[in-house]
């Protein structure tokens, strides 16, 4: 049975468990001020801080480096907390070998073919870091930048404002882009992300968050038993370099049909050309709702073993569902366990990959005077 966080608290109160047992007074009273501590230092001596937040039964740790969600803890059906997001326990591993664990992604989430696009008649060449293509903003994307972090409490909400200014020409992108990302933990324990950006020259923008979810707990094994539902009748098939062909294909009758909940593993070994290209699921679903003014339902993930659920609502038209195919047992995670293929999945709300080269896709162009705004809400249950 699915309950919300308040039901858990009521049950906990009936069982004589105090709010402190469940992670502090934040649960009972709403958010308290985020707590800052030193996480580590970059090679040049720059300090990286960790910010701890708790509200409504959700506990979050965020790094100033990459805006990384280093840990996100939520209770299972018995009120037992686990960190459900993959990561590292030290800054050196994040710098040396992170496959974007928990990071903010920009200036452009997912791939741009050959790292090239033309805007208003001017050709731009980006930093290429994925074969011949640009992935997640290039070799030094927003995930590898130190963000200015400003904590806030507002009513019963608690959160962080993260600021980063990407200068004109950074990684090949035109225009100085001023980015503000707000992470909010609500009194219900939702984690909300609001992205905003402005530019001084026409540019392209596609921001997202790259949390690797395992609702049974990071390091606990495969997510192939997780049940997933995606509100999308179409997806964008790709070529061998994972660049969309431009087609909006129907999911009906394919392994990409998640309109009814099914396990991630159910069709992952079907002999399908698209699954061969992705080494599993690594595709953009075109959400039925399209672009919306307010976050609307996109996907539901459930782990039957713990009962934990995650619902994602977004203003964005696309969702990249990546089944952790490139995790290969070479990284040791936060809890000291090795991450192997399929040990987590990502659900990245976004505009479609390679939109700057795909005239039929929703536009990712941002012009001076406009403000880029998108929002995504993560709702946890158990
Ligand atoms: C992409 C994958 C990529 C991964 C990086 C995902 O967003 O879709 O192709 O390998 O990020 O870890």
CATH number at residue 148: 2.70.98.10
Q: Nearest-CA neighbor of 341 among 277, 268, 283?
A: 268
Distance 164 CA to ligand 1 centre (A): 23
Distance 77 CA to ligand 1 centre (A): 31
| Exposure of 98 in the CB half-sphere (CA atoms within 13 A) | 31
Q: Nearest-CA neighbor of 197 among 176, 183, 173?
A: 176
315-258-311 Cα angle (round to 5): 45
Is there a catalytic annotation at residue 351? no
Q: What is the pLDDT of residue 31?
A: 59
Residue nearest to atom 10 of ligand 1 (CA): 326
Strand partners, 203: 366
In a domain, 17, yes or no: no
Distance 283 CA to ligand 1 centre (A): 9
| Overall domain count for the chain | 1
Ligand 1 site, residue 315, Cβ cutoff 6 A: no
Task: Give the whole-angstrom CA distance, residue 97 versus residue 135.
Answer: 15
Distance 295 CA to ligand 1 centre (A): 23
Catalytic residue among 27, 136, 210, 351: 210
Parent domain of 224: 103-381
In a domain, 41, yes or no: no
In a domain, 43, yes or no: no
Task: Give the whole-angstrom CA distance, residue 117 versus residue 122.
Answer: 8
In a domain, 200, yes or no: yes
Mean pLDDT of successive 10-residue stretches along the chain, which has 382 residues: 39 34 37 91 98 97 99 98 98 98 98 98 98 98 98 97 98 99 98 99 99 98 98 98 98 98 98 98 98 98 98 99 98 98 98 98 98 98 97
In a domain, 269, yes or no: yes
Name the pTM for this structure: 0.93
Q: Please report the atom of ligand 1 found closest to the CA of residue 242.
A: 9
In a domain, 9, yes or no: no
Is there a catalytic annotation at residue 378? no
Ligand 1 site, residue 103, Cβ cutoff 6 A: no
Ligand 1 site, residue 90, Cβ cutoff 6 A: no
Q: What is the separation, in whole angstroms, between the first and last Cα of the chain?
A: 8
Give the DSSP H or E segment for 50. strand 47-55
Task: Give the whole-angstrom CA distance, residue 31 versus residue 28.
Answer: 9
Residues 128/117, Cβ–Cβ less than 8 Å: no
Ligand 1 site, residue 282, Cβ cutoff 6 A: yes
Catalytic residue among 27, 283, 348, 351: 348
In a domain, 26, yes or no: no
């Amino acid at each position: 049975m699915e309950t919300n966080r308040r039901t858990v608290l009521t049950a906990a109160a009936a069982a004589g468990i105090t709010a402190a047992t469940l992670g502090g007074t934040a649960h009972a009273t709403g958010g308290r001020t985020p707590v800052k501590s030193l996480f580590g230092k970059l090679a040049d001596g720059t300090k990286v801080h960790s910010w701890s937040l708790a509200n409504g039964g959700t506990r979050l740790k965020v790094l100033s480096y990459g805006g990384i969600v280093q840990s996100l803890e939520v209770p299972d059906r018995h009120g037992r907390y686990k960190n459900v997001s993959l990561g590292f326990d030290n800054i050196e591993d994040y710098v040396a070998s992170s496959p974007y664990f928990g990071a903010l992604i920009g200036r452009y989430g997912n791939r741009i073919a050959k790292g090239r696009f033309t805007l208003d008649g001017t050709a731009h060449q980006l930093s290429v870091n994925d074969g011949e293509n640009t992935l997640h903003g290039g070799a030094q994307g927003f995930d590898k930048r130190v963000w200015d972090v400003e904590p806030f409490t507002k009513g019963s909400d608690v959160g962080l404002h993260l600021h980063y200014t990407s200068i004109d020409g950074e990684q090949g992108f035109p225009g100085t882009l001023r980015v503000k990302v707000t992470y909010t933990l609500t009194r219900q324990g939702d984690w909300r992300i609001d992205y905003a950006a402005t530019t001084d020259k026409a540019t392209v923008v596609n921001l997202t968050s790259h949390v690797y979810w395992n609702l049974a707990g990071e390091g606990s094994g495969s997510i192939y038993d997780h049940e997933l539902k995606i509100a999308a009748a179409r997806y964008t098939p790709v070529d061998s370099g994972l660049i969309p062909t431009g087609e909006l294909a129907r999911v009906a009758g394919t392994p990409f049909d998640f309109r009814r909940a099914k396990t991630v593993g159910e069709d992952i070994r079907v002999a399908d050309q698209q699954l061969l290209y992705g080494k599993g699921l690594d595709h953009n679903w075109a959400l039925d709702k399209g672009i919306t003014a307010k976050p609307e339902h996109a996907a539901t993930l459930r782990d039957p073993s713990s009962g934990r659920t995650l619902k994602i609502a977004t203003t964005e038209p696309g969702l990249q569902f990546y089944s952790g195919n490139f995790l290969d047992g070479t990284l040791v995670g936060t809890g000291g366990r090795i991450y192997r293929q399929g040990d987590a999945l990502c659900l990245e709300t976004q505009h479609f990959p390679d939109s700057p080269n795909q005239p039929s896709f929703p536009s990712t162009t941002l012009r001076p005077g406009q403000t880029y705004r998108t929002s995504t809400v993560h709702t946890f249950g158990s």
